Amino acid sequence: MDTIIKPRMAPSLALLTLAALTPPHHEVTLADENVKSLDLLDCPDLVAITCNVDGAARAYEIAAAYRRRGIPVVGGGIHVSAVPDEAGRHFDAICVGPAEALWTDILRHAQSGTLRAVYRSTQPLRGIDMPIPRRDMVRPGDYLYTNTVAASRGCRFKCDFCYNSCDYVDHRAVNRPVPEVIREIEDLGTRHILFIDDNFIGSPDWTRDFLVALRNTGKSFQWNAAVSADLLNHLDLLDLMAETGCNSLFIGFETINPESLVSVRKSQNRVERYEKLIDEIHGRKIMINASLVFGLDHDDASVFRATLDWLVSNRIETMTAHILTPYPGTRLHKEMLSAGRIIDTDHDHYNTSHVVYKPALLTSQELREGYLWMYKQFYSFKNIARRLPKNRRQMAPYLVFNLVYRKFGKTTALLARVGMLGWLGRVARRIAYQMG
């Protein structure tokens, strides 16, 4: 299960991007409550808050504290964009959708006292508008990693449970210029890169051009990314990934039940092709982090054992499990709300580890207990041993993640509490990837 390490994994690129978009005559301060207590008695001219659904209640509290003192507050982020009517009640202004084209207008209007209630981009986001984030504002010791890079925004798919199904989203993949991404990577000063794109192969042609450019730098990198399961249609990209230092791919398999995939419009996934995809990835000495969702309408109590057996038999290196969560604003939430299936409206519980709706073929207790059972069984010593990678090069990163982050995660989290997270990240990279 996740510990306090997760919210300290990396800084918010959203806030660092806003800082990069802010003209230099403004003074910008970054405040992240995940790593340091907030000073709610400070006196900024403008406050900007970004939040996900499970942080929304706290974001509204922070906004209220400033607004009571007459300090204007702008809200943004995925939750605000997904439910603008709700969020608009808690901020002086909200930003719906990408902020890149709107932020300078928001600043200008705030300075003149003419803030509008809603800012909504009317033009598609362009890759050229996405600047390199202001990483100089971050203290590396506060986070496990600061080497996160977003090369693109969005995803061409529109699955029901994903925010891409929200009304506000222009879900086309938008990529930054290849030379700009290469420059950002080189400026990081590390050879280990974590790409946090929604889908690293959202635009396959761009990904191909980028990987060729990365190879042409002549430098050795180690990197991880998230991709869609249709990677099997682009084996030349998989070859380039292996050639340029890809260590692990996060893939949303979601379920091994074909009917469940159809029920949430996950059209890019084909269960009958999963094992071929796994073989192709493993054959190139790349590990897999399988993302799975439990509680879909065709899931019954047998889904947990069947999924565990499938993961172990395919030697899947790491697994991230989720309880199906109908995020407010998504197509799934609208359908469940209309059917009277939403049983919990506490935003704090919308973090994929609570049951907030009525499952179809399981009780809420069966779903919650099955989810916990999956984590305990998958990361048991027995199954860690059974899933050991065949390739020796993968052994160190495999053991670091399975033991240090998952099996003994609570112990590891103690290091975070005493400010040693940056040190832990460096040690983990050195052990796992033989690099500093």
- 112 and 149 in a single domain? The answer is no
Q: Is residue 129 part of a domain?
A: no
- Determine contact, residues 307/256, Cβ cutoff 8 Å: yes
Strand order across the 222-227 sheet: 148-149, 192-195, 222-227, 246-254, 287-294, 318-323
For residues 298 and 321, give the distance between their C-alpha atoms in angstroms, rounded to a whole number.
Answer: 17
Q: Where are the beta strands (DSSP E) in 244-372?
A: 246-254, 287-294, 318-323
For residues 31 and 35, give the distance between their C-alpha atoms in angstroms, rounded to a whole number.
Answer: 9
**CA distances, 307 to each of 21, 48, 354 (Å):** 45, 42, 19
- Does the pLDDT of residue 434 top 70, yes or no? no
Write the pLDDT tens digit of every residue in 336-384.
999 999 999 999 999 999 999 999 999 999 999 999 999 999 999 999 9
For residues 194 and 190, give the distance between their C-alpha atoms in angstroms, rounded to a whole number.
Answer: 11
pLDDT recorded at residue 429:
73
- 403 and 349 in a single domain? The answer is yes
- 212 and 297 in a single domain? The answer is yes
- 196 and 291 in a single domain? The answer is yes
Describe the crossing of helices 274-283 and 235-243 by its angle, rounded to 10 degrees.
30
Q: Where are the beta strands (DSSP E) in 51-142?
A: 73-76, 93-96, 118-120
- Determine contact, residues 397/388, Cβ cutoff 8 Å: no
Position 12 confidence tier, pLDDT thresholds 50, 70, 90: very high
Question: Residues, the chain, total?
Answer: 436
pLDDT recorded at residue 121:
82
Q: Is residue 386 part of a domain?
A: yes
The pair of structure tokens assigned to 295 is 């509680």
- 144 and 100 in a single domain? The answer is no
Q: Is residue 1 part of a domain?
A: no
- Residue that has been written with the tokens 């991007």 in this structure: 17
Residue 22: give its domain's CATH number. Answer: 3.40.50.280
Domain endpoint, select from 90, 120, 150: 120
- Which pairs from 300-307 meet CB under 8 Å and 24+ separation? 300/361, 300/362, 301/361, 301/362, 301/366, 301/370, 303/255, 303/257, 303/370, 304/370, 304/371, 304/373, 304/374, 306/256, 307/255, 307/256, 307/374
Kindly tell me the burial class for residue 409, based on how many C-beta atoms sit within 10 Å of its own C-beta (0-12, 13-18, 19 or more): middle
Q: Is residue 131 part of a domain?
A: no
Q: Is residue 130 part of a domain?
A: no
Q: Is residue 110 part of a domain?
A: yes
For residues 347 and 341, give the distance between their C-alpha atoms in angstroms, rounded to a whole number.
Answer: 16
- 90 and 188 in a single domain? The answer is no
The pTM for the full model equals 0.92
The count of other CB atoms within 10 Å of the CB of residue 40 is 14
DSSP secondary structure letters along 249-268: EEEEEE-S-HHHHHHTT-TT
- Domain range for 85 is 6-120
- 214 and 109 in a single domain? The answer is no
- 374 and 255 in a single domain? The answer is yes
Q: In 22-73, which ranges are continuous DSSP H helix?
A: 56-67
- 106 and 146 in a single domain? The answer is no
Residue 358: give its domain's CATH number. Answer: 3.80.30.20
- Does the pLDDT of residue 435 top 60, yes or no? no
The pair of structure tokens assigned to 70 is 């007459």
- 106 and 223 in a single domain? The answer is no
Domain endpoint, select from 88, 120, 152: 120
Domain endpoint, select from 61, 90, 120: 120
- 401 and 276 in a single domain? The answer is yes
Write the pLDDT tens digit of every residue in 14-64.
999 999 999 999 999 999 998 889 999 999 999 999 999 999 999 999 999
Q: Is residue 128 part of a domain?
A: no
Instruction: Please count the structural domains in the chain.
Output: 2
pLDDT recorded at residue 417:
72
DSSP 202: S
- 88 and 202 in a single domain? The answer is no
